Amino acid sequence: LKILVLNGPNLNLLGTREPEIYGSETLQSIESDLRACAEALGGVEIEFFQSNAESDLITRIGETRGNFDGIIINPAALTHTSLGVADAIKAVADAVPSVEVHLSNTHAREEIRHKSLTAPGCIGQLMGFKGYGYVLALQALVKHLRSSR
Ligand code: DQA
């Protein structure tokens, strides 16, 4: 199985970015935990990508059909603002299911973060477990893919 892991704006700053909210793990350390999880699951390959640009993320999602089996995405602030990212997730959802991840529990934060435009196109959402959420999302997505094909 090939899984694309996408990270949106400012997630390149993890480690020093508001650690009381997001934890002190860097994106590189989340990536290596995820690679270890993929290895342990067996037969799972991951590609990891971060961008601060909405268009890069939309393009990467649109290119997944036929190339990836699933997507794990933390759209970051774009979660609450981007119809474009939401539409891209839905555009490939019939062939490439997505799981949404957030480090923080966005429901316990400012009201503007309570709504996700992107979650309705995803098979599920995980939040509040800091970097470990990505590992949980990978396990859940692989289980979903293996039981649905
Ligand atoms: C986030 C939550 C968003 O509200 C915020 O804009 C982020 C990170 C999270 O992982 O908790 O950048 O997606």
Residues 9-27 have pLDDT tens digits of 999 999 999 999 999 999 9
Are residues 131 and 24 in contact, defined by beta-carbon separation less than 8 angstroms?
no
State whether the beta carbon of 7 lies less than 6 angstroms from ligand 1. Answer: no
CA-atom Rg of the chain in angstroms:
14
pLDDT of residue 112: 97
Q: Which amino acid is present at 101?
A: V
Question: Is 22 an annotated catalytic residue?
Answer: yes
Ranges under pLDDT 50 in the chain: none
pLDDT of residue 148: 85
State whether the beta carbon of 113 lies less than 6 angstroms from ligand 1. Answer: yes
Structure pTM? 0.97
Kindly list the strands in the beta sheet with 45-50, ordered across the sheet, starting from the edge strand earlier in the chain. 45-50, 2-7, 70-74, 98-102, 124-127
Q: What is the ipTM of this complex?
A: 0.99
Rounded to the nearest 10°, the torsion over CA 120, 105, 12, 54 is 30
State whether the beta carbon of 125 lies less than 6 angstroms from ligand 1. Answer: no
The Cα 61–Cα 108 span in angstroms is 28
Class of domain 1-28+39-49+84-149: alpha beta
pLDDT of residue 149: 63
Best of 99, 103, 129 to mutate for ligand 1, by most ligand atoms within 8 A of CB? 103
Residues 99-111 have pLDDT tens digits of 999 999 999 999 9
Structure token pair of residue 67: 């190339």
Structure token pair of residue 4: 């694309």
Q: Which amino acid is present at 93?
A: A
Q: C-alpha angle with apex 31: 112 to 68, nearest 5 degrees?
A: 85
